[in-house]
């Protein structure tokens, strides 16, 4: 009974995290913060997988392995996302400096 | 552990998650995100999933946190304060209703499913044939080795993708230096990292080795190695390599290539990725060591970012 | 409870006390340097006491050795990061190089 | 040995080699095309429904790979499209021409990664493996889009990440509910309960973002229009099909029990809106590549418009499979041709294309032939696909669906005719000597393939129906070839 409750508790926490992350993704207007919000949602999905795989004494190793795969995939995409955000900022920065230089001459 | 502990833990997880999203300050949000990741790690411990707890704390909180902090610092250096334009309260209310609805739907679905260990017993009967005892490693490197193989290519692909957006003149140079600018601090961290880098190598090797039977494995070990490399780069003990350095390329592809090679070797015995009887553990450990090395290098370079023109190498590190 | 269990409980209690003191210092002290002082010193004593309690609880030399290594690394890390943090806060308050 | 795993593994081997090869990309590509062509032929000779688990680990633990009719059509089409696009890209991303360019170095590993991801997506029946596959495709696709516009790529990445979260959410519910993520096992287990229905809805939502179905298409036109021509060809040809194929596997096989007719009609209705909206937007575009990109939004609509028709009379399943293949090949041809035309033209606008028909006749011909297939004029592959779909709609009394498809064809004629008309007008543009013969040959070969696909209608439709799931096509395909051919004669 307690295992059941523990499993549901973590799975429900995961469900709330998904919703929180989605709220952040839509309302935050900076790409870096949206990237963070997606990671919160992703962690929520993983926690749902773990919670619903909670048995009487053990947690199903199958979803555990899937979650590890998911965590690695998520960090790969987050890293690329961060690189894109920085490249975008560099381009904007350079364009602004060009404008200023163009304005002076 | 008791239900009360879990309940408090879940409330703290939700609180840190909310703070990481709702705080005005982006940097504060990122700090809360790291705390959130560490609490999640404790949640996984509470679920008895030590493998996931290690991965979550090392990768989910650690590497992702460093990535976000570094991106924030570099954006600030370019004059982007990482501020969000405020959204209208009406819109926030509407979005909150939608997200609340999603939470309710998900909760109803979650409560309709009773949590059980569905495949643990079946996996336990197959584990003796592999000669290893950690069932999660068994799933990752035998039963679902195909997923894991593709996943290593996602990681490698992400690094190539970061290379693809190198600015003009940046290819094939080094990433912006991470070294600390203050000379005194540089000395301290440099000395520290000269101890830490070999220690992280030993620690990574230990995690991979112990991962056959106890919690650990290639991803956790690789992340520890990445941490050692990054601290060494912070302390100026090592220089990050050029993107066209053939030794670097070899290290990056070593793990995925070893995985592919052993998988293709399985064809001679029947199927792609089937391990010959008696050699399962040896081959799995070989793949894991190669993978840990490649994952360590790949993660460290992913954090460091894209190659930049040589003149910019020095100024990007603050 | 045996004497050993009393010892473990006592060590844990003292460890938590030092942690609490360190956290209180982080919240209440006026400037970065004294906050760092609270965190790095008090927390490492706290960690050491908790680690000692855990080692006694397991009662194995191998586990105790691993815990000792972890504690040692925590101290090294605290020292190195405290120096960097202190330096950067000094740079921020004092513009002269 | 089996081509099912080798078709995924071989491109990965080439990705590793391309990272180590330096200046040997040309030889590597030749080797890759030969290998993949041989493996594709092998795949086509397999009996439909041939399947095996990877590494000998049985379900529900392992991952099942399967060659059904859809995969047997799409994988060879991927080989054709990716192979010829690679030949074209060899000159744009030539190692010797811009030795210091990051894009030339990064393109090839990403190209092989995308090739592998497309094959992996069409060949597996495992929903979690499909998640990893989707992310492989996303990484490669976003990086290629970033070669044109970083801003569009960033938007694409964020929206693709959100789509993945929704997809993974559904996978988590399914795994927890049924203890398996394999479509073939789920087909026998799935029930129409709340958790299953919610999972289906969430996964479909996530996948529709990736397939860029209206109104979730916003990221596509800027990303596809800004990318370099070979990247656009791969993005529009391959990547959007991945989300579509997974949706098909969910709705008609794995979770068919929870797929209500109402849901199918909603998807069909959105598909109809996508056709009309995409076509009207394409008509309004001033830039050539934006026009072609909006045409993709419209053509994706046909794929989903067919959903409510699948279970009824007629050959909607064959038409659907056919359309996916025909669009892949024709759209790749069109993007490659457009890339060459824009290099020769004075600017990116359609008005700048004047005189190109005389300057580069072969390329404009390729564009025109691809347009024939996209409009659905006989005897092209696009015609066969749309004929089968319209026929099925009429047989089922769905006059609105049939009307939307016919109007979509007319609108396609309107927007595709405009650049062609401009290209044939004027004569001031000097004759442009082609940079390399293969650059001209690649779009032409693809466009001809899209055209000739119409003649292979019968056998291909049989192939598509061969491994179709049980929910599809209760009746066999009697003399389909004859119907298609008589119809084309009628229209002529």
- Name the pLDDT band for C84 (thresholds 50, 70, 90): confident
Q: Which of residues 63-82 of B touch C (CB under 8 A)?
A: none
Across the interface, whether the CB atoms of B270 and D20 are under 8 A apart is answered no
The residue extents of the domains of chain B are 1-84, 121-318
Q: Do chains C and A touch (3 or more CB pairs under 8 A)?
A: no
Cα–Cα distance, D133 to B157 (Å, whole number): 12
Which of A47, A77, A85 is the mutation pick for testing D, counting most D CBs within 10 A? A77
Domain residue spans in chain D? Answer: 3-491
Are the beta carbons of D61 and B143 separated by less than 8 Å?
Answer: yes
B with C: touching (≥3 Cβ pairs within 8 Å): yes
Residue B144 has its nearest CB partner, among D63, D116, D198, at D63
Most confident range (mean pLDDT) of A19-23, B78-82, D354-358 is A19-23
Chain A positions in Cβ-Cβ contact with residue B94 (cut-off 8 Å)? none
With contact defined as beta carbons under 8 Å apart, do D250 and D190 qualify?
no
Which of D210-214, D327-331, D456-460 is predicted most confidently? D327-331
Span B10-34, average pLDDT: 95
Answer whether residue B161 shows pLDDT above 50: yes
- What are the boundaries of each domain within chain A? 2-104
Phi and psi at B244, nearest 5°, equal -100, 10
Q: Which CATH architecture has domain A2-104?
A: Orthogonal Bundle (1.10)
- ipTM score assigned to the predicted complex: 0.94
Beta carbons of C83 and B185 less than 8 Å apart: yes
The Cα-based distances of D71 to B192, D55, D58, D316 in angstroms read: 55, 21, 22, 17
- Least CB-CB distance to B109: which of D101, D140, D173? D173
Q: Which of B78, B82, B158 sits opposite A93 (nearest CB)?
A: B78
For residue B315, is pLDDT > 50? no
More confident: C40 or A88: A88
Report the Cα–Cα distance between both ends of chain D, in Å, rounded: 48
In the stretch 162-191 of chain B, residues with CB closer than 8 A to chain C read 180, 182, 184-185, 188-189
Contact assignment for B165 to D143 by CB distance below 8 Å: yes
Residue in B182, B189, B196 closest to C91 by CB: B182
Per the CB < 8 A criterion, the answer to whether D411 and D283 are in contact is: yes
pLDDT grade for A9, boundaries at 50, 70 and 90:
very high
DSSP bridge partners of D64: D53
Residues D462 and D69: their CA atoms lie apart, in Å, by 8
Q: Tell me: the pLDDT tens digits for B174-190?
A: 998 888 888 888 888 88
Q: Is D113 on the interface with B (CB under 8 A)?
A: yes
Q: Are D314 and D472 in contact (CB under 8 A)?
A: no
Which H or E run includes D51? Answer: strand D50-53
SS3 B243: coil
Q: Which of A25, A73, A80 sits opposite D132 (nearest CB)?
A: A73
Q: On the CB side of B2, how many CA atoms lie within 13 Å of its CA?
A: 3
Token look-up 């293709």 returns B264
CB-CB neighbors (< 8 A) of C84 in chain B = 180, 182, 185, 188-189
Residue D52: DSSP 8-state: E
Chain D residues in contact with B147 (beta carbon < 8 A): 63, 128-129, 132
How do residues B190-244 score in pLDDT, each as one tens digit? 888 898 999 999 999 999 999 999 998 999 999 999 999 999 999 888 999 999 8
- Give C79's contacts in chain B (Cβ within 8 Å): 192
Residue B268 per-residue DSSP state: T
Look at residue A105 in the predicted model and tell me its pLDDT.
Answer: 46
Looking at residues D231-246, what average pLDDT do you find? 95
* Cβ pairs A/D, distance under 8 A: 78
Chains in touch with B (3+ beta-carbon pairs under 8 Å) read A, C, D
Owner of token pair 């799995």 = B284
Q: Which two tokens stand for residue D29?
A: 């590509």
Considering only CB atoms, which chain D residues are within 8 Å of A41? Answer: 162, 165
pLDDT for A37-57, tens place per residue?
A: 999 999 999 999 999 999 888
pLDDT band at residue C33, thresholds of 50, 70 and 90?
A: confident
Q: Do A79 and B106 touch (CB under 8 A)?
A: no
Given this model, what pLDDT does residue D414 score? 94
Confidence of residue D431 (pLDDT cuts 50, 70, 90): low
User: Which of C72, C73, C87, C95 is best to mutate for the B interface (most B CBs within 10 A)?
Assistant: C87
Distance CA(A68)–CA(A89), nearest Å, equals 32
Q: Which two tokens stand for residue D128?
A: 């979690």
D486 band by pLDDT with thresholds 50, 70 and 90:
very low
pLDDT of residue D484: 45
Residue C76 with chain B: CB contacts under 8 Å: 192, 195-196
Residue D100 in this model has a pLDDT that exceeds 60? no
Give residue D485's pLDDT: 45
Closest A-chain CA to D164: A42
Q: Report the range of poorest mean pLDDT among A63-72, B143-152, C37-46, D181-190.
A: C37-46
pLDDT at B115 over 50: yes
Average pLDDT over residues B291-306: 96
Banded model confidence at residue D480, pLDDT cuts 50, 70, 90? very low
Instruction: Give the minimum alpha-carbon distance from D139 to chain A in angstroms, rounded to a whole number.
Output: 7
**Considering CB atoms only, which of B182, B192, B199 is closest to C80?**
B192
Is any Cβ of chain B less than 8 angstroms from the Cβ of A66? yes
Helical (H) or strand (E) element with B314? none
Q: Are D66 and D123 in contact (CB under 8 A)?
A: yes
For range C69-89, the mean pLDDT: 87
Q: How far is CA C57 from CA B137, C8, C46, in A?
A: 29, 7, 17
Query: CA-CA distances (angstroms) from residue B180 to A97, B234, B240, C83?
Result: 27, 6, 14, 12
| B170/D102 Cβ within 8 A | yes
Contact B105/D at CB under 8 A: yes
Residue A20 has pLDDT above 80, yes or no: yes
- Are the C-beta atoms of B38 and B25 separated by less than 8 Å? no
For residues D390 and D396, is the Cβ–Cβ distance under 8 A? no
User: Out of B301-310, D51-60, D122-131, D351-360, which region has the weakest mean confidence (pLDDT)?
Assistant: D351-360
- At D99 the pLDDT is 44
A45 in contact with B at a CB cutoff of 8 Å? Answer: no
Structure tokens, D386: 């749309």
Q: CB D165 to CB A38 under 8 A?
A: yes
């Amino acid at each position: 009974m307690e295992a059941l409750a523990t499993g549901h508790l973590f799975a429900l926490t995961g469900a709330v995290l998904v919703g929180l992350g989605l709220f952040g993704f839509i309302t935050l207007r900076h790409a870096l913060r949206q990237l963070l919000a997606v990671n919160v949602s992703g962690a929520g999905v993983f926690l749902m997988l773990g919670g619903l795989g909670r048995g009487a004494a053990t947690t199903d190793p199958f979803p555990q392995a899937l979650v590890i795969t998911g965590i690695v995939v998520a960090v790969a995409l987050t890293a690329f996302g961060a690189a894109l955000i920085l490249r975008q900022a560099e381009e904007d920065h350079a364009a602004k400096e060009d404008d200023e230089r163009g304005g002076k001459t | 552990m008791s239900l009360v502990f879990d309940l408090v833990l879940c409330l703290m997880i939700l609180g840190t998650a909310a703070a990481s999203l709702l705080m005005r300050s982006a940097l504060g949000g990122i700090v809360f995100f790291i705390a959130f990741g560490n609490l999640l790690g404790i949640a996984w411990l509470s679920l008895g999933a030590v493998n996931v707890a290690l991965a979550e704390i090392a990768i989910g909180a650690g590497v992702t946190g460093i990535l976000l902090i570094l991106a924030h610092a570099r954006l600030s250096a370019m004059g982007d304060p990482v501020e969000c334009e405020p959204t209208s309260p009406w819109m926030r209310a509407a979005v909150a209703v939608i997200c609340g609805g999603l939470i309710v739907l998900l909760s109803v679905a979650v409560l309709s499913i009773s949590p059980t260990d569905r495949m643990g017993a079946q996996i336990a009967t197959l584990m003796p044939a592999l000669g290893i005892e950690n069932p999660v490693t068994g799933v990752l490197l035998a039963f679902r080795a195909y997923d894991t193989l593709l996943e290593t290519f996602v990681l490698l692909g992400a690094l190539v993708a970061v290379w693809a957006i190198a600015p003009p003149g940046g290819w094939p140079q080094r990433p912006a230096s991470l070294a600390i600018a203050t000379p005194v601090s540089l000395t301290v961290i440099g000395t520290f990292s000269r101890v830490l880098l070999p220690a992280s190598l030993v620690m990574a090797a230990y995690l991979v080795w112990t991962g056959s039977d106890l919690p650990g494995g290639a991803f956790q070990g690789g992340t520890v190695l990445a941490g050692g490399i990054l601290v060494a780069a912070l302390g100026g003990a090592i220089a990050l390599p050029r993107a066209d350095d053939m030794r670097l390329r070899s290290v990056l592809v070593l793990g995925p290539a070893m995985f592919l090679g052993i998988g293709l070797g399985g064809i001679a015995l029947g199927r792609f990725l089937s391990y010959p009887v008696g050699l399962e553990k040896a081959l799995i450990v070989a793949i894991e060591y190669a993978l840990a090395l490649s994952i360590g290098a790949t993660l460290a370079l992913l954090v460091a970012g894209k190659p930049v023109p040589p003149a910019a190498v020095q100024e990007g590190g603050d | 409870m045996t004497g050993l269990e009393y010892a473990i409980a006592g060590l844990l209690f003292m460890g938590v006390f030092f942690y609490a003191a360190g956290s209180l210092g982080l919240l209440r002290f006026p400037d970065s340097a004294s906050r760092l002082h609270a965190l790095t010193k008090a927390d490492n004593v706290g960690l050491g006491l908790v680690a000692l309690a855990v080692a006694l609880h397991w009662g194995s030399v191998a586990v105790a050795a691993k815990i000792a290594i972890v504690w040692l690394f925590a101290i090294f890390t605290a020292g190195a990061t405290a120096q960097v943090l202190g330096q950067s806060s000094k740079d921020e308050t004092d513009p002269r190089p | 040995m089996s081509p099912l795993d080798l078709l995924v593994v071989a491109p990965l081997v080439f990705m590793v080699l391309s990272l180590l090869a330096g200046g040997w990309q040309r030889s590597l590509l030749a080797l890759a095309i030969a290998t993949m062509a041989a493996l594709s032929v092998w795949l086509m000779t397999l009996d439909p429904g041939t399947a095996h688990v990877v590494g000998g680990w049985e379900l529900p633990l392992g991952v099942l790979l399967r060659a059904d009719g859809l995969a047997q059509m799409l994988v060879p089409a991927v080989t054709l499209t990716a192979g010829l696009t690679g030949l074209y890209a060899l000159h744009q991303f030539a190692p010797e021409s811009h030795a210091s360019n990051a894009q030339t170095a990064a393109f090839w590993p990403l190209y092989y990664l995308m090739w592998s991801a497309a094959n992996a997506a069409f060949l597996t029946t495992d929903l979690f493996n499909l998640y990893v596959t989707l992310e492989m495709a996303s990484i490669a696709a976003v990086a290629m889009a970033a070669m044109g516009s970083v801003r569009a790529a960033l938007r694409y990445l964020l929206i693709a990440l959100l789509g993945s979260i929704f997809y993974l959410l559904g996978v988590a519910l399914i795994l927890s509910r049924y203890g398996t993520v394999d479509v073939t096992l789920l087909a026998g287990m799935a029930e129409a309960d709340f958790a299953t229905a919610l999972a289906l809805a969430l996964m479909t939502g996530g996948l529709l973002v990736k397939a860029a179905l209206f109104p979730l298409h916003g990221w596509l036109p800027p990303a596809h229009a800004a990318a370099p021509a070979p990247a656009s060809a791969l993005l529009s040809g391959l990547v959007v099909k991945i989300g579509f194929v997974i949706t098909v596997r969910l709705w008609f096989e794995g979770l068919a029990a929870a797929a209500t007719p109402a849901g199918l009609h909603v998807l069909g209705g959105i598909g109809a809106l996508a056709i009309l909206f995409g076509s009207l937007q394409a008509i309004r575009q001033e830039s050539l590549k934006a026009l072609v990109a909006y045409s993709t939004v419209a053509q994706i609509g046909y794929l989903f418009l067919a959903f409510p028709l699948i279970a009824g009379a007629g050959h909607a399943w064959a038409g659907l499979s056919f359309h996916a293949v025909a669009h892949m090949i024709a759209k790749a041809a069109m993007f490659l041709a457009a890339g060459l035309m824009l290099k020769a033209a004075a600017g990116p606008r359609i008005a700048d294309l004047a005189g190109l028909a005389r300057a580069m006749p072969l390329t404009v011909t390729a564009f025109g032939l691809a347009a024939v297939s996209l409009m659905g004029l006989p005897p092209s592959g696009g015609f066969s696909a749309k004929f089968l779909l319209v026929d099925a709609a009429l047989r089922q009394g769905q006059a609105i669906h049939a009307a939307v498809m016919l109007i979509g064809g007319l609108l396609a004629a309107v927007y595709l005719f405009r650049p062609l008309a401009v290209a044939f007008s004027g004569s001031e543009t000097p004759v442009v000597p082609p940079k390399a013969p293969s650059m001209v040959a690649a779009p032409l070969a693809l466009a001809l393939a899209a055209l000739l696909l119409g003649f292979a209608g019968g056998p291909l439709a049989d192939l598509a129906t061969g491994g179709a799931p049980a929910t599809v096509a209760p009746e066999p395909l009697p003399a389909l070839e004859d119907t298609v051919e008589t119809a084309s004669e009628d229209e002529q």
